[in-house]
């Protein structure tokens, strides 16, 4: 009988470890807690299939509305502390290896950023990382790459307080620009009631065009856009529900935004009643977000926007928490 050499089991299998990580995303519109279960295999690039989202819990804190004369108010600071502490209590049930908190435009751009950040950190007894414009855009790109391979084009991230554009070429994120206007800041600065009037719609578009021009965003022209963030996902959901019999879309075209805005302009209150069923927590910021998306289509002379599942939070998880290279599933 021929004798076969045996190989220890440990040599035939890579050691796989499942670990939980918490990330709190402190944004201008929402403060969101995500708990990730990650399959950590040594020397293996991180892929989408390695990540399970155990909890995705958001609070519509609306902190951009608590910016007065450029500074975050005491009421805004107290609201942030209360919301984050509630998230930390939720996260305590998941035995996380670590819990990270990062903030974007709302803390980055307020004139009392240092004082507000220190007050919130004291109230939650944890450190907050404030991402720069460039870091936010880069982490958004890394997160998007977990979802799929990206061809040449421009990536769009519409937040509550800012809009980030990133030029993608040959598998790299190159130039980046941050336009200091998002869905919630548009609502807070230009809308008097719950829904924008026709004059306010034009005001939001006009000011976004002016800011984009000032930042030199016209150089981000591309036929293909890639989108991350709640404003973009919400636009696709509402278009499917209100304009196309509930069909789900993973992309947007310029005519989709035209259809949404046309339906809104015909009867804003009737539109809002219908949209409440699809985006109840974004009804006040939904139209401002759609206006920005439509302006970006025009600015970039784009034909299509593909919607990506992962973004800044997942990029932060990969680069700042796990510190692993990123692979794709293709």
Interacting residues of 295 by C-beta distance below 8 A, sequence separation 6+ = 205, 208, 209, 212
Can you tell me which residue has the tokens 């807690």? 33
Mean pLDDT of the chain: 91
Q: What is the pLDDT of residue 327?
A: 66
Average pLDDT over residues 53-71: 95
Distance (Å, whole) CA 263 – CA 190: 21
Residue 190 has pLDDT above 70, yes or no: yes
Per the CB < 8 A criterion, the answer to whether 181 and 162 are in contact is: yes
The band of 161, judged by pLDDT with boundaries at 50, 70 and 90, is very high
Structural domains for the chain: 16-133+312-322 (3.30.420.40), 149-307 (3.30.420.150)
Q: Higher confidence at residue 121 or residue 323?
A: 121
Whole-model pTM: value is 0.87
| Helix (H) or strand (E) segment spanning residue 305 | strand 304-307
Q: Which helix (H) or strand (E) holds 312?
A: helix 312-316
């Amino acid at each position: 009988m021929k004798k076969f050499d045996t190989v220890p089991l440990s040599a035939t299998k890579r050691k796989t470890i499942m670990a939980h990580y918490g990330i709190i995303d402190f944004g201008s519109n929402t403060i969101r807690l995500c708990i990730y279960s990650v399959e950590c295999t040594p020397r293996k690039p991180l892929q989408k299939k390695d990540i399970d989202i155990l909890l995705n819990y958001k609070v519509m804190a609306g902190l951009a509305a608590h910016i007065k004369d450029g500074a975050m108010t005491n009421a805004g600071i107290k609201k942030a502390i209360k919301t984050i502490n509630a998230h930390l209590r939720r996260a305590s049930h998941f035995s996380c290896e670590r819990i990270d908190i990062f903030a974007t435009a709302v803390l980055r751009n307020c004139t009392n950023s240092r004082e507000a950040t220190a007050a919130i950190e004291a109230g939650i007894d944890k450190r907050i990382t404030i991402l720069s414009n460039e870091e936010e855009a880069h982490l958004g790109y890394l997160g998007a790459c977990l979802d799929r391979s990206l061809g040449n084009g421009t990536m769009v991230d519409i937040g509550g307080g800012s809009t980030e554009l990133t030029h993608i070429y040959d598998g790299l994120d190159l130039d980046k620009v941050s336009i200091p206007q998002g869905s919630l800041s548009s609502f807070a600065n230009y809308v008097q009631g719950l829904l924008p009037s026709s004059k306010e719609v034009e005001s939001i578009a006009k000011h976004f065009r002016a800011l984009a021009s000032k930042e030199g965003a016209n150089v981000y022209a591309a036929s293909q856009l890639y989108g991350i963030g709640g404003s973009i996902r919400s636009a696709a959901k509402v278009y499917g529900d209100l304009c196309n019999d509930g069909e789900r879309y993973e992309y947007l075209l310029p005519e989709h935004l035209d259809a949404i805005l046309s339906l809104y302009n015909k009867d804003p209150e009737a539109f809002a009643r219908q949209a409440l069923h699809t985006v109840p927590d974004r009804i006040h910021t939904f139209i401002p977000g759609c206006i920005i998306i439509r302006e970006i289509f025009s600015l970039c002379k784009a034909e299509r926007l593909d919607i990506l599942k992962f973004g800044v939070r997942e990029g932060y998880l990969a680069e700042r928490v796990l510190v692993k290279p990123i692979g794709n599933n293709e």
